[in-house]
């Protein structure tokens, strides 16, 4: 168990290191940089010497490998550098922009899971054939809905038509309802699809027939035999979809005019603000890796066959 844990944590660290390096290299080979964009515009009227001086002050004149190791060292000590465009430390920008995005993403993740479970349970419990077929086709509908369109439609329906959620100066909870839904629905679609398919597969297993032969009702079988077996593959996909969630958060924040990592990313890309982008990539990767690490660690808890692997002979 300990070696399984160590192995997984080690893999996570390798992924992080590779992501960091790849992001660093890609950001360096982009033509132009933030300093050029900010200071070389003719309005500034700076001479070539002055610009060179500014470059030197940011360390931009150092060779690539030296800058790489300086950045690694800085990141390890929690120093993410300075945003050239804003002129403030990146960590300060993250402190204001990360929490709202994190809140949005986590709420959306939980909402997606709840939606998934409701859909899968309902489609397996209802007796009416047509309703079941309807529920089973919902995920394929959801999956084809783009986030921005869904956001706009939700605002149209709930805010403008029904007047349920106010758009102008909403409360802290009210403000999040529609963005969370916008983000959760497209994530829940593939999850529900996979969960439904897994439930069908598990229902076809002989041990389900044995449980029925014991006199267990359909819902008893579903909760006590099928659920835990069907949830495991779904969990893997949930971890992978978390990346989707981060990407979706950027669009959602733009549609609903929320401040957060999305807005920050958008500005930083426009300005080639390398330090900010590097920090965002690493933080996203960290979140992604952590979620998947949790998923991996949950596996042996859910499936006893994975926990005792070391004991059994090959």
Partner 1 sequence: MTVTPLLQVNDLAIAYKTGDHEQRVVHGVSFSVAPGEVVALVGESGSGKTTTAQATLGLLAGNGRVESGTIQLNGTDITRWSQKRLDSIRGAVVSLIPQDPGSSLNPVRTIGSQLAEVLQIHKRGDRKAIQTRVTELLERVGLTPAEMRARQYPHELSGGMKQRVLIAIAVALNPALIVADEPTSALDVTVQRRILDLIDELRRESGTAVLLVTHDLGVAADRADRLVVLQNGRIQEQGPVKDMLAAPRSAYTRRLLADAPSLGKPRPARPGIETQDFAIEVTGLTHDFPVSGGETRSFRAVDDLSFKVRRGTTHAIVGESGSGKTTAIRSVVGFIKPTGGRILIDGVDLTTLKGEKLRQFRKHIQLVYQNPFGSLDPRQTIARIVEEPLLNFEPIPAADRARKVRDMLARVGLSESFLERQPRALSGGQRQRVAIARALVLDPRVLVLDEAVSALDVTVQAQILSLLDELQKTLGLTYLFVSHDLAVVRQISDTVSVMHKGRQVDGGPIETVFGRPDSAYTRELIDAIPGRGLPVLAVPPELPPRLSP
Among 56, 217, 259, 297, binds partner 1 (CB under 8 A): 217
Q: Is 216 in the site for partner 1 (CB under 8 A)?
A: yes
Among 210, 247, 269, 294, binds partner 1 (CB under 8 A): 210
* Helix residue spans in the chain (DSSP H): 2-29, 34-39, 48-58, 64-76, 90-125, 129-143, 147-154, 174-203, 206-213, 218-221, 227-256, 261-271, 274-302, 304-307
Q: Is 305 in the site for partner 1 (CB under 8 A)?
A: yes
Closest CB to partner 1 among residues 202, 249: 202
**Cβ 283 to partner 1, closest distance in Å?**
35
For residue 184 the two structure tokens come to 């959760």
Closest CB to partner 1 among residues 124, 284: 124
Q: What angle do CA 288, 113, 20 make, to 5 degrees?
A: 5
Phi/psi for 82 (5° steps) reads: -120, 135
Closest CB to partner 1 among residues 69, 207: 207
Q: Is 211 in the site for partner 1 (CB under 8 A)?
A: yes
- Calpha distance 233→224 (Å, rounded): 17
Closest CB to partner 1 among residues 48, 301: 301
Q: Could you please report the per-residue DSSP string of 120-173?
A: HHHHHH---HHHHHHHHHHHHHHHTS-HHHHHHHHIIIIIIIS--S--SS--TT
Q: Is 122 in the site for partner 1 (CB under 8 A)?
A: no
Closest CB to partner 1 among residues 76, 128: 128
For residues 169 to 208, the per-residue mask of contacts with partner 1, x marking binding by CB under 8 A and - elsewhere, is: ------------------------------------xxx-
Tell me which residues touch partner 1 (CB under 8 A). Answer: 205-207, 209-218, 220, 224-225, 228-229, 302-305, 308-314
């Amino acid at each position: 168990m300990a070696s399984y844990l160590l192995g997984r944590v080690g893999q996570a660290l390798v992924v992080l290191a590779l992501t960091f390096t790849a992001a660093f290299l890609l950001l360096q080979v982009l033509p132009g940089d933030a300093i050029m964009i900010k200071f070389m515009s003719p309005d500034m009227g700076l001479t070539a010497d002055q610009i060179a001086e500014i470059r030197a002050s940011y360390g931009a004149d150092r060779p690539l490998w030296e800058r790489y190791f300086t950045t690694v060292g800085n990141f390890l000590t929690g120093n993410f550098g300075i945003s050239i465009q804003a002129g403030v430390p990146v960590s300060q920008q993250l402190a204001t922009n990360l929490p709202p995005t994190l809140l949005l993403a986590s709420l959306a993740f939980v909402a997606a899971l709840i939606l998934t479970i409701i859909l899968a349970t309902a489609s397996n419990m209802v007796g009416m054939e047509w309703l079941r077929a309807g529920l089973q086709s919902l995920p394929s509908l959801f999956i084809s809905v783009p986030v921005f369109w869904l956001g706009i439609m939700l605002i149209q329906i709930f805010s403008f038509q029904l007047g349920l959620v106010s758009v102008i100066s909403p409360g802290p909870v009210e403000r999040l309802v529609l963005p969370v839904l916008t983000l959760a629905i497209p994530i829940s679609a593939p999850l529900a699809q996979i969960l439904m398919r897994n439930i069908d597969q598990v229902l076809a297993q002989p041990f389900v027939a044995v449980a029925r032969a014991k006199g267990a009702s359909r819902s008893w079988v579903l909760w006590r035999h099928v659920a835990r077996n069907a949830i495991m593959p779904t969990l893997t996909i949930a971890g992978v979809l978390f990346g989707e969630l981060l990407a979706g958060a950027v669009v959602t924040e733009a549609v609903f005019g929320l401040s957060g990592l999305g807005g920050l990313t958008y500005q930083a890309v426009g300005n080639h603000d390398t330090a900010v982008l590097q920090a965002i990539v690493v933080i996203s990767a960290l979140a992604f890796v952590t979620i998947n690490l949790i998923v991996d660690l949950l596996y042996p808890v859910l499936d006893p066959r994975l926990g005792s692997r070391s004991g059994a002979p090959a």
